[in-house]
Chains A and B, each alone.
Chain A
Amino acid sequence: MTRYTLSRLLQGLVAMWVIVTIVFFLARLGGDAAALLAPPDATPEQIAAIRLSYGFDQPLHLQYVDYLRGIVTLDFGQSVSYRQPVVDLVIPAMVNTARLALAAFVIALVLGVTFGAIAGVRAGTRYDQAVRGLSVLGQSVPPFWLGMLLVLLFSINLGWLPAFGSEGFTSLILPACALAAFPLASIARLTRSSVLEIVARDQTLFERSKGVGPATLMSHILRNASLPVVTLAGIQLGAMFSGTIVVENLFAWPGVGQLAIQGIQARDFALIQGIVVVNTFVFVALLFVVDLSYGWLDPRVRAVKSAVKSKVGANVEAAA
């Protein structure tokens, strides 16, 4: 298990490094980065000043080393538009986004798995048809439209919840619901089909032949059905961390999405780079957790690594 964890961690770090490197070169492939950053009516002196302040006058490999050192020490430079270190902007925004994404994720996971599992066990019934219909709806409705409907109903007509802002728990409910609809629907659909497949397997028949109660039977079915759901849930959570732009702007939620929009509008190069790097880190970390939970859920995954090793070892010995 330790070996499995370490190998996954190493893979995650390599992925981080590759992405961060791509980001670095993408920004510098488009010709004169300073000219791109500058407003269209900038004078050559202004462009030269930008070049100097970003270190674009330095040789590329030195820039790259500087850039990597900055990432490792959490120093993404100064934001031009805010006149603050990028870290001080991105981290609080990321915390806000995480609050929103995690709230939406909990809603999506708990309800999605529950609805999907019941639909899978009772396939073909009215309940199943309702879940399938609603999940197609949930996957098709755009979040901004759903968000506006929620605001209209719960804030304007009923006056139960605030329409925007980030004060207190109540202001979290509407954006979290708007954000949860899509992952909820896709988790419900996948859970349903996965449960359906496990129920039809020999192992469920054999389990039932033991005469176990419904709770034991269901725990076997759910654990087996959870393997693909865990992957999907991890990806959905990652997408929620980086893809909350629409919902954050709709509800004036001070998260990374809003910050990114402002950074793009202000051509705030360092800020955007900082956001991309932090988002990448969050995504890779989430996939690492997904991989770990896979090893925890499925003993065969834990075994693969050492089995391959010993097989290769045996072949080498046989050859020698």
Chain B
Amino acid sequence: MVNYELSFWLALPAAAIVSGFFGFLLGTPVMRLKGDYLGIVTLGFGEIVRLIFVNWIDLTNGPMGIPAIPSPSVGGYTLTSNSDFYYLVLVITVVSVFIIRRIVQSGFGLNLLTVREDEIAAESIGIRPTRYKLLAFTIGALFAGVAGALFAVTAMFVSPDSFQYVESVNILAMVVLGGTGSIAGSVLGATILTVAPEILRFISDYRMILLGLVIVLMMVYKPSGFWGESKRKRNFFGKTGGYQDGNLTAGGSYGQVRGTGRG
């Protein structure tokens, strides 16, 4: 927006697409890795990108960052106040959550679920795990791009140092707290972790220490989070009818998910 004078409404999808593309780029080689290795590679990648951006002064202005990002406008009205931005973020979040819900509940989403439950079973019924994992990765990156663009216009300033490793951990903590594999859980986790520090201001010095402790405690005692899979799964399987007449592969994979009988 600053360099090319794009309107916010063009910059937002552009940011999403570029981020999605990088997600795809990173995802392509790393998809062969399993859970923990994958996690670490993404951390390494995050560091590389940050270091490149810190040193690529021409594009990002290095650690000084890009100031004075123009505010978006809706039909001639330029967003200025905090509440304007609140509604902007709210609307885009609701739309995003709606889109992700549609994705999860589609035949494509069922295939994703199958891959997660059992890769080998998925492969045996013609779902290519790598392809679905890569797509999930890309979609995740896409929405992260949306969030990044929103962050830029709301804060009116970005610098590579706004996105340190701590930020990743904070977001991870949100997911963990709310419950992995659940949209409602992610929203809940994000809300708790953004609101709680405001309420608990008197112990704000200990915020990160507590955050670390909370992550450990959650993993040890309730790894599925407050609104995690078990709850979602029940709802999901409760509404069998709606999903059976999805597309063919979806119907097939649905049976398989039940067949593998986890949870």
Does chain A bind chain B? no
A interface with B by C-beta (< 8 Å): none
